[in-house]
Amino acid sequence: MRTTLISFALAMAAGFAFAHDYAVGEISIKHPVAYPTVGRTGAGYMEIMNEGPADRLVGVSAEFPRVMLHESVTENDVTRMEHRMAVDLPTGEMVTFKPGGLHVMFMGLSEHWKVGDEIPATLNFETAGSVDVVFKVEERPTRTEGETDHSAHQGMDHSNH
């Protein structure tokens, strides 16, 4: 009995570590991830699946001077980041935060994020409530739109000095 309980607990822990998913109400958050930083800003990405009534992500809080919802928008080959007050989560749809698109912007980092770092944050949903998640810092995939996204962040960072 005891052994069964322990191995069950271990399996659960291992499952969590591997899947790295979170849920609140009928909303699930899949694999929150970030990449190593070089400046004073970092971006968080994830997938949000809403199996319940339509909801909205209305904010993210974390231990940084400023955290915002951003979307990178490309028009005429020029990419800029726009602030979003909220992100709609329609019923039965997966909303993807990814380089070159929606992201959580963490500003005022005091040290660089490295592979293996864990960035705790709280996602606040209008109806479902709040859930604590951890953005895990992974190796940045090579040559994606993220490069554009990244340089946009750097430009923004300099203007703050």
For Cu ion, the closer CB: 48 or 105 = 105
Q: In this structure, how many other beta carbons lie within 10 angstroms of the beta carbon of residue 52? A: 16
For Cu ion, the closer CB: 56 or 153 = 153
DSSP tag of 110: S
Q: Which of 24, 34, 105, 107 binds Cu ion (CB under 5 A)?
A: 105
Beta strands at 129-137 and 27-34: parallel, antiparallel or unpaired: parallel
Tell me which stretch binds Cu ion (CB under 5 A): 3-11, 102-110, 115-123, 129-137.
102-110
Tell me which stretch binds Cu ion (CB under 5 A): 13-21, 48-56, 81-89, 131-139.
81-89
Three-state SS sequence of 35-85: CCCCCCEEEEEEEEEECCCCEEEEEEECCCCEEEEEEEEEECCEEEEEEEC
**Position 121 contacts Cu ion (CB under 5 A):** no
Angle at 25 between CA 23 and CA 26, to 5 degrees: 80
Q: Which of 70, 102, 125, 133 binds Cu ion (CB under 5 A)?
A: 70
Tell me which stretch binds Cu ion (CB under 5 A): 12-20, 28-36, 100-108, 113-121.
100-108
